[in-house]
Chains A and B, each alone.
Chain A
């Protein structure tokens, strides 16, 4: 069975500050890892993914995440927050393409001017 834990259901950052969202996973097989973003009243949009290869992955809107197998983590970062980054962010895992996603609880990001 797989599980995902996101530390912090709410994060508040100042515009221009570092955004760091934490995700830890549990998986019995090498995982595929994803970060999705949900803007108000919209569906889930993929930010970035790790499947194989380079452990530092870059996504849209300046976000990146690093897969650390030893720490079972896939934390999401962005060097400088923008007001448009205010949204809810979900970390998710599955064992391969064609398989269900298991989601973390989500982290809502508030960006202060």
Chain B
């Protein structure tokens, strides 16, 4: 069964460093998302991506964040200068966009900023 994959599973970085989180969505899906879950809190939407551009972003998704689909298969989230408060589990999701379809989630990347 097709699945969304994410790498790495864990990332530890120093405050101020850049990190790139990688996702491979399901191949025939057209819509891509990043969500995050700070420990003990709810899952929050960051950004959605369709047709090679951002379709919606949340207030969290400021200038420190960017997304890219560099090669037609990978979908990346970059944080330019990490802050302590960026420590969270980051989930990638994808969907076909067909009416009634659901989003499929990857296993997540746990980011720890020291």
Of A90, A97, A104, which is in contact with the most chain B CB atoms at under 10 Å from its CB?
A97
Inter-subunit contact B44/A103 (CB<8 Å): yes
Q: For residue B58, which residues in chain A have a CB less than 8 angstroms away from its CB?
A: 100
* Number of A residues, CB within 8 Å of B: 24
* A49-B95 contact in complex given A99-B48, A101-B45, C-beta closer than 8 Å: no
Chain A interface SS verdict (over half): loop
Chain A nearest CB from B44 CB (Å) reads: 7
A26 to B63, CA, bound (A): 30
Inter-subunit contact A51/B99 (CB<8 Å): yes
Against A, the Cβ 8 Å flags (1 = close, 0 = not) of B83-114 are 00000000101011111111111111000000
* A97-B100 contact in complex given A43-B105, A43-B108, A44-B105, C-beta closer than 8 Å: yes
Q: For residue A32, which residues in chain B have a CB less than 8 angstroms away from its CB?
A: 100
Chain A nearest CB from B75 CB (Å) reads: 15
Q: Which residue of B lies closest to A104 (CB)?
A: B42
Inter-subunit contact B95/A98 (CB<8 Å): yes
Against B, the Cβ 8 Å flags (1 = close, 0 = not) of A82-113 are 00000000101000111111111110000000
B56 at the interface (CB under 8 A from A): yes
B43 at the interface (CB under 8 A from A): yes
Inter-subunit contact A36/B100 (CB<8 Å): no
Q: Which of A1-59 contact B (CB under 8 A)?
A: 32, 34, 36, 42-46, 49, 51-52
Q: For residue B55, which residues in chain A have a CB less than 8 angstroms away from its CB?
A: 98
Give the A-binding residues of B (Cβ under 8 A): 4, 30-31, 33, 35, 41-45, 48, 50, 55-56, 58, 91, 93, 95-108
Q: Can you list 12 A-B contacts (CB < 8 A)?
A: A44-B43, A44-B91, A49-B100, A96-B99, A97-B101, A98-B30, A98-B31, A98-B48, A98-B50, A100-B58, A101-B103, A103-B35
